[in-house]
């Protein structure tokens, strides 16, 4: 039943993402943007919208917005302006929000996502970015539980967040599933974190995602009735909200119901979307140019200056890791998720380490260690050059992989030269056939019973002898050489 | 020309409560203002680039340096309904 439904409809999804820009001060006044301050301690007449005040644009907001636009392959507007978006809401002190309407700072870009399809095979897709603009955030309404119960007719508002700079990024209607939409949001988060313009913290609201979603029969070119979903505070919630909403819309159409254009909230507790029961279509924001803020004019030189300072972005790194270093799409994705990890990996490879081995160590043992020790790769005592040296020791056969794993916690915690550590601990791998031969003879002498069992056909015991040699030498015997010599000695 | 319905709609958007007499009076006045502005349509502006601002300046920016917020107490004091460190505002999601 489900199969016939999903083959007949497609889901059309576009995302509007608000990123809080990580500036020290608000967009139009000098109030601090620090999170978690006591209520209304970071306010002034400008962000409270008192009459006669003069907002002035924070230059860092402009720089961050342009950098983000460039990273998203947008065209940066040579002439851009601010407008007043007028509506009434108790968290909006001026009864208008300063935003950008018809001349946003950036438009017509794209970003590339790379994610596994239902069969686990990675595919790449370009998602268009329609526009990116700067605007101010609103305050925060506090509904105290007791007041609601007592039927009080007012709320309380904290304006610390009013005037915090936001960058709104609007995608084209290019996404087709909850998983794809979540991947797009994650890629955008990676990009703003690489740029250092936004910390991407969804729990604290630094990255907020609204979804526009409609369904239509496959083959239909017109869009269906669009529904907006709000209130998802994780990538997982975005995916689940979309999957739920697509099913709801398809079921409604199958039952011959008419969908209404509306805003719905994702309810985490019940895992469904619920209508906000607000009248849609009545919004009339009467935008007009903000007279207090002069326009922004940028020269090609200025724009090029910002472009030349962009870091290498995750999608470019993923391409390079796969095409130049031979890594899998999966490993490339894990390594590039955080810029610090990607740079650690690149540092290790630059010191001569094999990329595949470096990737395995970093995404495996090192990531696990960082997690249990609650440490950050940026403050790791073991430098990329140290890791490269360790990998070199394994490849040269000086130590076994097993010994390397044992040394790792010490190296990660204290840093230093792996070679020196190996020598100080006497852990150098032994490949000398004479010495290994001697150890094998000693093992045979200590286990005559197993030896005769082996000789009478119980060849499964081969591994037992290897284990005994390793145990005897604390893992220092070269495993390959040990195998060869054992085979020789056990041969009839 | 502006209709009574248009004036009523504008008044609603601006959250103004007007009597029918006021709507009629304002419709006349707003219509006169629009007619006055419409004289601009007679000018030949083919060579004049559009602008959103009357003053010919651009890029007025300030550095991202915090200024201590020292006026909290005063700003709360002059608000219509302060409560502790908050501003009281009308509740938007009324039950029932
Ligand atoms: Zn302020």
Report how far apart, in Å, the C-alpha atoms of A411 and of each of A385, A393, A414, A420 are.
12, 14, 5, 11
Query: Which chain B residues contact residue A154 at CB under 8 A?
Result: 81, 88-91
| B66 with A142: Cβ contact below 8 A | no
Residue B70 lies in a domain: no
Minimum-distance CB partner of A41 among B61, B64, B72: B72
Residue B62 lies in a domain: no
* Residue A71 DSSP SS3: helix
| A43 with B69: Cβ contact below 8 A | yes
A143 CA distance to ligand 1 centroid (A)? 23
A18 CA distance to ligand 1 centroid (A)? 20
| B85 with A81: Cβ contact below 8 A | no
pLDDT digits (tens, 9 = 90+) for B14-38: 889 999 999 999 999 999 999 999 9
> What is the secondary structure of A307-369 as a DSSP string?
HHTPPPPHHHHHHHHHHTT---HHHHHHHHSSHHHHHHHHHHHHTT--HHHHHHHIIIIIHHH
* Residue A116 DSSP SS3: strand
3-state DSSP of A158-202: EHHHCCCEEEEEEECCCECCHHHHHHHHHHHHHHHHHHCCCCCCC
Number of domains in chain B: 1
Which site among B12, B49, B63, B66 would you substitute to test the A interface, given the most A Cβ atoms closer than 10 Å to its Cβ? B66
Please state, in angstroms and rounded to a whole number, the distance separating the CA atoms of residues A312 and A339: 9
* Chains A, B: CB pairs < 8 Å: 124
Minimum-distance CB partner of B64 among A24, A44, A88: A24
C-alpha A243: how far from chain center = 21
Q: Which two tokens stand for residue B3?
A: 């209709």
Please state, in angstroms and rounded to a whole number, the distance separating the CA atoms of residues A423 and A416: 13
| A153 with B81: Cβ contact below 8 A | no
Residue B84 lies in a domain: no
> What is the secondary structure of A279-317 as a DSSP string?
PPS------EE-TTS--EE--HHHHHHHHHTPPPPHHHH
| A25 with B65: Cβ contact below 8 A | yes
Query: Which chain A residues contact residue B16 at CB under 8 A?
Result: none
* Residue B88 DSSP SS3: strand
- Chain A residue closest in CA terms to B59: A296
Q: How many residues does chain A have?
A: 492
Minimum-distance CB partner of B83 among A45, A156, A296: A156
For residue A268, count CB atoms less than 10 angstroms from its CB and return exposed for 0-12, middle for 13-18, buried for 19 or more: middle
* Residue A204 DSSP SS3: coil
Residue B56 lies in a domain: no
Which pLDDT does position A360 carry in this prediction? 96
pLDDT at residue B96 greater than cutoff 50: no
Query: Which chain A residues contact residue B93 at CB under 8 A?
Result: 143
Name the minimum distance, in Å, from the CA of B52 to any CA of chain A.
Answer: 6
Q: Report CA torsion sign: A463, A469, A472, A475.
A: negative
CB A9 within 8 A of CB A215: yes
Which candidate, B3, B92, B29, B1, places its Cα nearest to that of A87? B92
Q: Which two tokens stand for residue B38?
A: 């419409």
Which candidate, A183, A181, A201, places its Cα nearest to that of A192? A201
Report how far apart, in Å, the C-alpha atoms of A129 and of each of A36, A74, A141, A171, A376 are.
32, 7, 31, 4, 32
The residue ranges of every structural domain in chain A are: 3-305, 312-425, 433-490
Which pLDDT does position A1 carry in this prediction? 44
Name the minimum distance, in Å, from the CA of A288 to any CA of chain B.
Answer: 9
Please state, in angstroms and rounded to a whole number, the distance separating the CA atoms of residues A274 and A266: 7
Choosing among 1.10.150.130, 3.40.190.10, 1.10.10.410, 2.40.37.10, the CATH entry for A433-490 is 1.10.10.410
Query: Which chain B residues contact residue A289 at CB under 8 A?
Result: 52-53
A97 CA distance to ligand 1 centroid (A)? 14
Please state, in angstroms and rounded to a whole number, the distance separating the CA atoms of residues A330 and A50: 53
Query: Which chain B residues contact residue A100 at CB under 8 A?
Result: none
pLDDT digits (tens, 9 = 90+) for B40-93: 889 998 898 888 888 889 999 999 999 998 999 999 999 998 988 999 988 765
| A58 with B61: Cβ contact below 8 A | yes
Which residues of B sit within 8 Å Cβ distance of A?
13, 15, 52-55, 57-67, 69, 71-72, 75-76, 81, 83-95
| A157 with B13: Cβ contact below 8 A | no
Residues in contact with A428: Cβ distance below 8 Å, sequence separation at least 6, in sequence order: A398, A399, A422, A476
Beta-carbon-side half-sphere exposure of residue B64 (alpha carbons within 13 Å): 17
- Chain A residue closest in CA terms to B85: A39
Give ipTM to 2 decimals.
Answer: 0.88
Residue B34 lies in a domain: yes
C-alpha B62: how far from chain center = 25
Which candidate, A219, A247, A245, A226, places its Cα nearest to that of A6? A247
> What is the secondary structure of B20-64 as a DSSP string?
HHHHHHHHHHHHHHHHHHHGGGGS--TTSPP-S-SS-----EE-S
Please state, in angstroms and rounded to a whole number, the distance separating the CA atoms of residues A315 and A337: 10
Minimum-distance CB partner of B69 among A44, A86, A153: A44
| B94 with A153: Cβ contact below 8 A | yes
Which pLDDT does position A51 carry in this prediction? 92
Please state, in angstroms and rounded to a whole number, the distance separating the CA atoms of residues A411 and A481: 27
* Residue A151 DSSP SS3: coil
Name the minimum distance, in Å, from the CA of B96 to any CA of chain A.
Answer: 11
Residue B66 lies in a domain: no
Please give chain A's pLDDT, 492 residues, in tens: 444 544 589 999 999 999 999 999 999 999 999 988 999 999 999 999 999 999 999 999 999 999 999 999 999 999 999 999 998 888 999 999 999 999 999 999 999 999 998 898 999 999 999 999 999 999 998 876 555 555 667 889 999 999 999 999 999 999 999 999 999 999 999 999 999 999 999 988 999 999 999 999 998 889 999 999 998 989 999 999 999 999 999 999 989 899 988 899 999 899 999 988 665 455 688 899 999 999 999 999 999 999 999 999 999 999 999 999 999 999 999 999 999 999 999 999 999 999 999 999 999 999 999 999 999 999 999 999 999 999 999 998 888 888 899 889 999 999 889 988 888 887 777 788 888 888 899 999 999 999 889 888 888 889 898 888 888 887 778 888 888 888 888 887
Q: First-to-last CA distance in chain B?
A: 41
Which pLDDT does position A5 carry in this prediction? 47
pLDDT at residue B95 greater than cutoff 50: no
Which pLDDT does position A472 carry in this prediction? 81
Residue B95 lies in a domain: no
- Chain B residue closest in CA terms to A39: B85
CATH of the domain at B29: 1.10.20.60
Please state, in angstroms and rounded to a whole number, the distance separating the CA atoms of residues A69 and A75: 7
| B71 with A86: Cβ contact below 8 A | no
Q: Which two tokens stand for residue A439?
A: 């150890």
Give the residue numbers spanning the domain of B5.
1-43
Residue B23 lies in a domain: yes
B59 CA distance to ligand 1 centroid (A)? 20
Largest CA distance in chain B: 59
Q: What are phi and psi of A87, to 5 degrees?
A: -160, 165
Element (H, E) at A422: helix A418-424
């Amino acid at each position: 039943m489900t199969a016939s439904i999903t083959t007949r409809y497609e889901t059309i999804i576009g995302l509007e993402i608000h990123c809080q820009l990580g500036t020290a001060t608000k967009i139009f006044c000098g109030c601090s943007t620090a999170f978690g301050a006591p209520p209304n301690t970071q306010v002034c007449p400008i962000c409270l919208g008192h009459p006669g005040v003069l907002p002035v644009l924070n230059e860092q907001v402009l720089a961050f917005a342009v950098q983000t636009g460039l990273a998203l392959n947008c065209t940066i507007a040579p002439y851009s302006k601010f407008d007043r978006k007028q509506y009434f809401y108790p968290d909006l002190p001026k009864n208008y929000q300063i935003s950008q309407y018809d001349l946003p700072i950036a438009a017509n870009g794209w970003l590339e996502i790379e994610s596994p399809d239902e069969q686990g095979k990675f595919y790449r897709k370009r998602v268009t970015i329609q526009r990116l603009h700067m605007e101010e955030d609103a305050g925060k309404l506090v509904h105290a539980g007791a007041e609601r119960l007592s039927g009080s007719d007012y709320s309380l508002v904290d304006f610390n967040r009013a005037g915090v700079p936001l960058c709104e990024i609007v995608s084209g209607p290019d996404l087709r599933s909850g998983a794809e939409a979540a991947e797009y949001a994650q890629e955008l988060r990676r990009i703003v974190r690489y740029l250092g313009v936004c910390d991407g913290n969804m729990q604290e609201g630094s990255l907020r995602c609204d979804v526009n979603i409609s369904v239509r029969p496959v083959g239909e070119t017109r869009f269906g009735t669009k529904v907006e979903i709000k209130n998802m505070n994780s990538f997982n919630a975005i995916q689940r909200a979309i999957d739920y909403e697509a099913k709801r819309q398809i079921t409604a159409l199958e039952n011959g119901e008419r969908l209404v254009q509306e805003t719905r909230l994702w309810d985490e507790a019940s895992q469904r979307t619920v209508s906000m029961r607000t009248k849609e279509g009545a919004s009339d924001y009467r935008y007009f140019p903000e007279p207090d803020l002069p326009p922004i004019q940028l020269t090609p030189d200025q724009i090029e200056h910002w472009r030349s300072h962009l870091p290498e972005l995750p999608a470019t790194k993923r391409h390079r890791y796969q095409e130049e270093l031979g890594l899998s799409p999966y490993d490339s994705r894990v390594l590039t998720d955080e810029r610090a990890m990607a740079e650690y990996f690149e540092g290790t490879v630059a010191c001569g380490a094999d990329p595949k081995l470096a990737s395995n160590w970093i995404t495996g043992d090192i990531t696990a260690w960082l997690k249990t020790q609650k440490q950050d790769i940026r403050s790791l005592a073991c430098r990329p050059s140290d890791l490269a040296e360790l990998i070199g020791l394994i490849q040269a056969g000086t130590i076994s992989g097993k010994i390397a794993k044992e040394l790792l916690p010490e190296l990660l915690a204290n840093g230093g030269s792996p070679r020196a550590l190996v020598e100080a601990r006497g852990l150098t791998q032994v490949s000398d056939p004479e010495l290994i031969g001697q150890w094998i003879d000693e093992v045979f002498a200590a286990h005559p019973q197993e030896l005769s069992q082996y000789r009478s056909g119980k060849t499964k015991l081969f591994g037992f002898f290897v284990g005994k040699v390793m145990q005897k030498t604390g893992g220092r015997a070269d495993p390959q050489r040990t195998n060869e010599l054992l085979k020789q000695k056990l041969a009839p | 020309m502006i209709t009574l319905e248009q004036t009523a709609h504008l008044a609603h958007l601006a959250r103004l409560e007007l009597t029918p007499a006021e709507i009629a009076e304002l419709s006349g006045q707003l219509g006169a203002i629009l007619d006055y502005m419409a004289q601009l349509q007679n000018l030949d502006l083919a060579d004049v680039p559009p602008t959103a601002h009357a003053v010919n300046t651009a890029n007025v920016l300030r550095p991202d340096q915090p200024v201590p917020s020292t006026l909290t107490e005063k700003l709360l004091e002059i608000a219509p309904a302060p409560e502790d460190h908050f501003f009281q505002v009308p509740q938007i999601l009324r039950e029932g």
